[in-house]
Amino acid sequence: MEHGSLTDLSSSTFSLIDEDHTLANSVRFTLNQDPRVQFCGYSIPHPSDNKVNIRVQTTGDPAKDVLKDALQNLMLMCKHVRTTFDDTVNDFRATEKVEHIDINSDR
Amino acid sequence: MPKVSALDMPDVPKGKLPEHLEVQRTRVVCNADAPIYTEPFHYSGAFALMGVDNSVTLESFCKNLKIEVIELTEDTMEFDMIGIDASLANAFRRILIAEVPTMAIENVLMVNNTSVIPDEVLAHRLGLIPLNADPKLFEYLSEHDTPNERNTIVFKLAVSCKKGSPRLTVKSDQLKWLPGGSELEMESPTPSAKPRTYTSFSRSQDSMPEFANKPLGVKHQDIIIDKLGPGQAIELEAHAVKGIGKVHAKWSPVATAWYRMLPEVILLKEIKGVDAEKLVKKCPVNVFDIEDVGKGGKKAVVANPRACTLCRECIRGVNEPQVELRRAKDHFIFKIESAGAIPPEVLFTDAVKILEEKCDRVICELS
């Protein structure tokens, strides 16, 4: 849900339901890396309600697009973390197996 | 003397931050009373006036991210993530604890419970038992669904202690898996030919290929559920469903998952001789070590900074600062201890996938 001005699309607050610090802090990090962003932050109005308000103010581009780009960036970062992790675990397992075989061949 | 900007002075590095600011940007300094420089400098234009670009582009993130696995067993995993920010590391930790789904006992149908433990306490204990079931093979059961073989696992516990025999301990290995579904019959107003049970299994779960090789059961066989005296008995049926840790901690797939930042221990000046030996003795985890310099001289060196637990013994009670304790803001040592159903490396991959799905959901909402 976007709360903003109809005339000025560059600043608005996005209210997300069923979200908390997990997504909001990560999105705030990726938003900050975007050079188009002038200000960004998030707040949780009340801890009992599952709502998060993300405020985005940009240097001219519509805030919705900037937020979408930040979320896409976050998705790509996660994908990269996943592939790097899988490769590292497979390499670790392969080296462990090699050591195991070496230990056995010493006997 | 012509005016020169401070940034153009000969000893200020160009395009990079001066050393003291670089420490503030990338390290948390742990003083004796409290840590300082804990705020992250996320904003890409934080150092714009100095001509330094603080942004982390996707390419630079992908290039700089490093993951090193230190230990990987069936239940635990320790690995390092370098080049990631605290917000992402915390997001993974939160998802690992609260949002990766597992199977746990939710509904307990009591037929007979004459033990000293009340029904609800017994049901609570059963819910906390970790089950050896892959939640990916199951669907969620909502209020309007009927329990069937795709969303429920049924267990039966029927133990009794005979009169005259000693006290009996009921352990978790007594929970028997019922692949054919519930055996308790529901009361129906009209006596029909085949009475309905509490679940509607259309086929037995052990005829399904996923469960053919790996029968479902509890992960640990020696968890004490209850103790029965002579003449006491328990007969119940427990239904396990899929859920997430946010709703109840019994559905949390990790015993726990945590991270710490890589410690960095800096000696501010050379510490020699008796002082060096005193320093080495102070540290309970042997971070420091003595290095022999020629002519019998001893010098203190930092041998194992990774072991530092921040007990601050080395900086306590000292008049002048000898040691500086720091933490690297982008190097996280993750430790994941799985409760047993899912191996830890699969858990982490699932957690990252769940964060991706969250982003996807918000993107769809925005479009």
- How large is the ipTM? 0.91
Name the minimum distance, in Å, from the CA of B80 to any CA of chain A: 10
Q: Which of B23, B47, B48 is nearest to B37 (CA)?
A: B23
The residue whose two tokens read 């795709």 is B150
Judge whether residue A84 has pLDDT over 90. Answer: yes
Asked if B67's CB is within 8 angstroms of A33's CB, the reply is no
Put simply, the answer to whether A35 touches B94 (Cβ < 8 Å) is: no
**Inter-chain residue contact A85 with B57, CB threshold 8 Å:** no
Specify the residue for token string 């390092």: B80
B7 backbone dihedrals φ, ψ, rounded to 5°: -75, -15
Nearest to B69 among A75, A77, A88 (CB): A88
| C-alpha distances in Å from residue B5, one per residue of A75, B11, B12, B14, B22 | 42, 12, 11, 12, 20
Nearest CA-CA partner of B169 in B228, B231, B236: B228
Strands (E), chain B: 27-30, 35-36, 66-72, 76-82, 102-113, 153-160, 168-171, 176-177, 224-228, 233-243, 254-267, 288-293, 297-302, 323-338
Q: What is the DSSP letter of A35?
A: T
- The answer, for B247 touching chain A at a CB cutoff of 8 Å, is no
Instruction: Work out whether strand B323-338 and strand B76-82 pair parallel, antiparallel, or are unpaired.
Output: antiparallel
Question: Which of the four pLDDT bands, split at 50, 70 and 90, describes residue A106?
Answer: low
| pLDDT at residue A28, rounded to an integer | 93
**Residue A82, helix vs strand vs coil:** helix
pLDDT at A100 over 90: no
Q: What is the pLDDT along chain B (367 residues), one digit of tens a residue?
A: 677 777 677 776 667 788 888 888 889 988 888 888 888 888 888 888 787 888 888 898 999 999 999 999 999 999 999 999 999 999 999 999 999 999 999 999 999 999 999 999 999 999 999 999 999 999 999 888 888 888 899 999 999 999 999 999 999 999 999 988 888 887 776 766 677 788 888 888 888 887 877 788 899 999 999 999 999 999 999 999 999 999 999 999 999 899 999 999 988 888 888 888 888 888 899 888 888 887 878 888 888 889 888 888 888 877 778 888 999 999 999 999 999 889 999 999 999 999 999 999 999 988 8
Q: Would you call B124 helix, strand, or coil by DSSP?
A: helix
Q: How much is the pLDDT for B20?
A: 85
Task: For residue B246, give both structure tokens.
Answer: 């946010």
Looking at residue B4, its pLDDT comes to 74
Structure tokens at A101: 């075989």
Distance CA B133, CA B125 (A): 18
Residues of B in contact with A27 (CB under 8 A): 359, 362
Between the alpha carbon of residue B146 and those of residues B139, B141, B149, B198, B248, the distances in Å are 12, 8, 10, 9, 22
The pLDDT score that the predictor gives to residue A105 is 62
Indicate if the alpha-carbon torsion angle B284, B285, B286, B287 is positive or negative. Answer: negative
Helix B86-98 × helix B344-366 angle, to 10° = 110
Please tell me which residue of chain B has the smallest CA distance to A78: B352
Question: Least CB-CB distance to A68: which of B56, B65, B363?
Answer: B363
Residue with tokens 């003083």: B31
Residue that is written with structure tokens 């697009």 in the block: A65
Chain A positions touching chain B (beta carbons under 8 Å): 2, 14, 16, 19-23, 25-29, 32-35, 37, 64, 67-68, 71-82, 84-86, 88-89, 92-93, 96
- Can you read off the two tokens belonging to residue B291? 């290095």
pLDDT over 60 (residue A107): no
pLDDT of residue B298: 86
pLDDT for the residue numbered B216:
87
Measured in angstroms, the CA of B6 and the nearest CA of chain A are apart by 25
B53: closest CA of chain A, how far (Å): 10
Closest Cα partner for A31 from B362, B332, B67?
A: B362
